[in-house]
A and B are shown apart, each in its own frame.
Chain A
């Protein structure tokens, strides 16, 4: 039962207010993209055992989307941050490295 901080409205609330929407920081591929790129964008997932960057929505709250860095092995949350970014911000990466010195971002 996760306890989640919404970076948009500032509320920390029960998981039941939120909804997860899978891996974050995917690049959209549209018309003209190769089969490989399109398949990868829509379906291929890192699904790591460990640090996962993912998309959430404060569905039963402010309605806004945000990103979360979370460990799938322990459910530790390293932080939540804006959905309007293509990569995790430095302070989140720093926090992850402080907690998981051996962490290697997925290639």
Chain B
């Protein structure tokens, strides 16, 4: 693999960039792998990457029915934060956030992680208490967050209207090392690194069946033939239920549409990420200058990657109220993704009823920020059979009544 650097770019410029090679090989499936990961989104690629990097398992294929990074990895609003309330969430999201800090250097690929800071606004007394609680928990969890006053909110984000009239800002939970990254680059960087370790990233390869013998997985069937494996990781977000069905088990998961939108690009006016859960909207400004905006999910099962317009209306209305200056900006594009939501809205990283099959799903609306941590933990789970980061996220928790409920502090949001 050719190392990327300013010097490499300069060298290539001299020969009109004719010397660049493929970022990842165009691999053909082999007969057998030590491990197969289904789904070449961020989580799947990260899982493969850490299988190789942390456990030396490199005879790995990552199968993708479409194009890599084409699901929610490439459709989200790129927010990265770890100011979660519950211990298991804070642990995995903070692991993830810390991996983002050095990801560009680890992967030799600029994923543009920008720790610009994230504020979660408190606009009701209930939220004030919830975020103060989170700040206390975070301090003990090793997550650096801070409860800040309305004046400080205004200082960090001058374009915000903190005076209401309906929901004046009462303060906020500030995570200075939260931020954003370039979503596509995360998938591409991992794919390039996996390929470099000798792994096969195989696009347009759809899994059509899962083969098990005596309760143990032996391989998968695909539109490009049968492929054998010892271990199988299912990392396909909204399509998890479908795959689980093939493997003969059910999941506590439903798939719904989540929408987002961007404005036309303008010059920099907002350096941080703001999330306003009471009014259901969040916004940041991309490096291109677009205001990147997201809101809530549709209430019904949906695989169309389209959502209902009234959610867009609600979100935009809330944000015009919070940031009056966006009123005359124009929405450039809206889109939808399919998110998989579990019974407690926290993810599942788990063994399954089939020996050798592991599942990683249920990230709901918050998957992007978790990519490296999720991959790190999932790789450990697959390699060693358990991980302290995944212990609490087993799918048996629903049977036990042991939930990881994050909505208690913050409502539901990214």
Residues of A within 8 A of B (CB): 1-2, 14-16, 19-23, 35-36, 38-40, 42-49, 52, 54, 70, 72-75
Q: Taking the nearest CB of chain B, how far is it from the CB of A53, in angstroms?
A: 10
Residues of B within 8 A of A38 (CB): 399
Partner of B299, one of A19, A44, A46: A19
In the complex, the answer to whether B252 meets A44 with C-beta atoms within 8 Å is: yes
Q: Taking the nearest CB of chain B, how far is it from the CB of A75, in angstroms?
A: 6
In the complex, the answer to whether B309 meets A47 with C-beta atoms within 8 Å is: no
Query: Is B86 in contact with chain A by the CB < 8 A criterion?
Result: no
Chain A binder among B10-18, B138-146, B300-308: B300-308
In the complex, the answer to whether A43 meets B310 with C-beta atoms within 8 Å is: no
In the complex, the answer to whether B250 meets A44 with C-beta atoms within 8 Å is: yes
Who on chain A is nearest to B253 by CB? A47
Residues of B within 8 A of A47 (CB): 241-242, 251, 253-255, 301
In the complex, the answer to whether B242 meets A49 with C-beta atoms within 8 Å is: yes
Majority SS at the chain A contact face = mixed
Chain B, interface size category, equals 20 to 34
Given the complex of chains A and B, what is the CA–CA distance between A10 and B73 in angstroms? 42
A-contacting residues, B293-344, CB 8 Å: 298-304, 308-310, 342-343
Q: Taking the nearest CB of chain B, how far is it from the CB of A60, in angstroms?
A: 12
Given the complex of chains A and B, what is the CA–CA distance between A69 and B34 in angstroms? 42
Who on chain A is nearest to B342 by CB? A43
In the complex, the answer to whether B308 meets A45 with C-beta atoms within 8 Å is: no
Given the complex of chains A and B, what is the CA–CA distance between A45 and B75 in angstroms? 25
**1/0 per residue B244-277: CB within 8 Å of A?**
0000001111110000000000000000000000
Residues of B within 8 A of A40 (CB): 250
Query: Is B20 in contact with chain A by the CB < 8 A criterion?
Result: no
Residues of B within 8 A of A15 (CB): 308, 310
Given the complex of chains A and B, what is the CA–CA distance between A23 and B242 in angstroms? 16
Residues of A within 8 A of B255 (CB): 47, 72
Residues of A within 8 A of B398 (CB): 39, 42-43
In the complex, the answer to whether B310 meets A1 with C-beta atoms within 8 Å is: yes
Count of CB-CB pairs between chains A and B under 8 Å: 68
Q: Taking the nearest CB of chain B, how far is it from the CB of A87, in angstroms?
A: 19
Partner of B251, one of A44, A48, A54: A44
Partner of A52, one of B252, B253, B301, B309: B301
Partner of B253, one of A1, A36, A45: A45
Given the complex of chains A and B, what is the CA–CA distance between A16 and B308 in angstroms? 9
In the complex, the answer to whether B253 meets A75 with C-beta atoms within 8 Å is: no
In the complex, the answer to whether A42 meets B308 with C-beta atoms within 8 Å is: no
Given the complex of chains A and B, what is the CA–CA distance between A49 and B246 in angstroms? 13
Task: Enumerate 14 A-B pairs (CB-CB under 8 Å) in ascending A order.
Answer: A2-B300, A2-B308, A19-B299, A36-B399, A39-B398, A43-B252, A45-B250, A45-B252, A46-B250, A48-B241, A52-B301, A72-B301, A75-B302, A75-B304
Who on chain B is nearest to A50 by CB? B303
In the complex, the answer to whether A42 meets B343 with C-beta atoms within 8 Å is: yes
Q: Taking the nearest CB of chain A, how far is it from the CB of B290, in angstroms?
A: 25
**1/0 per residue B227-254: CB within 8 Å of A?**
0000000000001011000000011111
Given the complex of chains A and B, what is the CA–CA distance between A27 and B255 in angstroms? 21
A-contacting residues, B112-168, CB 8 Å: none
Given the complex of chains A and B, what is the CA–CA distance between A20 and B341 in angstroms? 15
Residues of A within 8 A of B251 (CB): 44-45, 47
Residues of A within 8 A of B239 (CB): 49
Given the complex of chains A and B, what is the CA–CA distance between A77 and B310 in angstroms? 19
Who on chain B is nearest to A19 by CB? B299
Given the complex of chains A and B, what is the CA–CA distance between A35 and B399 in angstroms? 6
Given the complex of chains A and B, what is the CA–CA distance between A23 and B301 in angstroms? 9
Who on chain A is nearest to B340 by CB? A47
Q: A15-B308, A15-B310, A35-B399 are in contact. Are A45 and B300 (CB under 8 A)?
A: no
